[in-house]
Structure 1
Amino acid sequence: MKPETNAVNKENGVDDSHICKLETNGDLSGHRVRRLEEEFAEAITAMTFKKVQLDISSAHNIDSPGIALCVGLYKECKIKKMEFEIIVNDELRRIFTLVNLDKILPIKES
């Protein structure tokens, strides 16, 4: 997985060159999470970013390893002094709210 970076976001004129955009295609559950953990760790250590944006809005299911992946990535970013945000859909927002992660993780709706 290669992080997506853009020099300037043409929509809002913001410099996105230091944003690592990680995107999932599908659910965050089971064995898939282990593979994503490796890919995400590689992506955020490959370059220096100011911000990591995790887009999980295409997922419809997330289990405890998937939630742990999100929290772990957040902690890793905090250690490296990088900003972090998760982009979710309505369904995932309800799950994150139910387990009170909306109070800890910076969540943005897609």
Structure 2
Amino acid sequence: MKQLVFSLFGMALVAGCASTDGAATATKTDPIPYTLDSRGIQLVASPLRIDFGRTDHSTVAAMDKLVGQGPVSRAVCPDGSPFVVWADGTRLNFRGGAFRGWSKTAADGTVQAAGQTCG
């Protein structure tokens, strides 16, 4: 009986792991409209914001939800501070573990930026 209980427990544990892994691969969702401004990021039609100074981990997770998918690249500026880029062209810069600036390149090559950026 004891062996049966351990077998059932083991099968449930493995099944639970399998379903969690499957859910983790479904990362693409519909984008949530947002604008970039002098203080950070403003959600359209919402009072919610992502302001400069927010932690890097929470900012990246929030942007993943806004853009509808994770970043396309991560790199570092010449000064060693990291930045993250999403498919929609938004690039967020971080220093000291916090969101410090953004830049975005439009389809026509125009670059807008606010806060601290590379260079």
- Indicate the structure with greater helix content: 1
Which of the pair has the greater relative contact order for Cα pairs under 8 Å at 6+ separation?
Answer: 1
- Indicate the structure with greater strand content: 2
TM-score by length of 1: 0.31
TM-score by length of 2: 0.29
